[in-house]
């Protein structure tokens, strides 16, 4: 459970599994900072994620803003629980891609 990353030639993939809580925030922050330095596209895979803590939602929002500023592609897919966390918190309107369960967003 937790957060893992996979670096590919032209993109990064960050995968989330289980409930993502405050204890995961520092790890996610470090991974996102490394991604920012790389300047590549990013895929967020939350298909196996549970509910998301507000600290994680704030990091995803910052990630979305960073991607837009750097003009790199950001896409994501979410479990129902993760999508619900985004929608109920209001963070879904601040992401640079729509929040929908299970389907990759282009």
pLDDT for residue 23: 92
Grouping H, G, I as helix, E, B as strand and the rest as coil, residue 85 is: helix
Distance separating alpha carbons of residues 65 and 85, to the nearest angstrom: 19
Q: What is the pLDDT of residues 48-58, one digit of tens each?
A: 999 999 999 99
Domains and CATH numbers, the chain: 2-94 (3.30.750.24)
Backbone angles phi and psi of 39, in degrees to 5: 65, 30
pLDDT for residue 100: 52
> Which structure tokens are listed for 103?
């389907």
If DSSP states are collapsed to H, E and C, what string results for 31-61?
HHHHHHHHCCEEEEEEEEEEEECHHHHHHHH
Q: What is the pLDDT of residues 9-46, one digit of tens each?
A: 889 999 999 999 999 999 999 999 999 888 899 999 99
């Amino acid at each position: 459970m937790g957060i893992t990353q996979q670096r590919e030639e032209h993109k990064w993939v960050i995968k989330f599994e289980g409930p993502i809580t405050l204890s995961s925030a520092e790890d996610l922050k470090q991974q996102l900072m490394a991604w920012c330095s790389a300047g590549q596209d990013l895929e967020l895979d939350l298909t196996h994620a549970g509910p998301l803590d507000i600290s994680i939602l704030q990091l995803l929002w910052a990630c979305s803003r960073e991607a837009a500023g750097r003009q790199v592609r950001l896409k994501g897919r979410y479990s129902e629980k993760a999508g619900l966390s985004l929608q109920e918190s209001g963070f879904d309107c601040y992401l640079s891609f729509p929040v929908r369960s299970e389907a990759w967003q282009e």
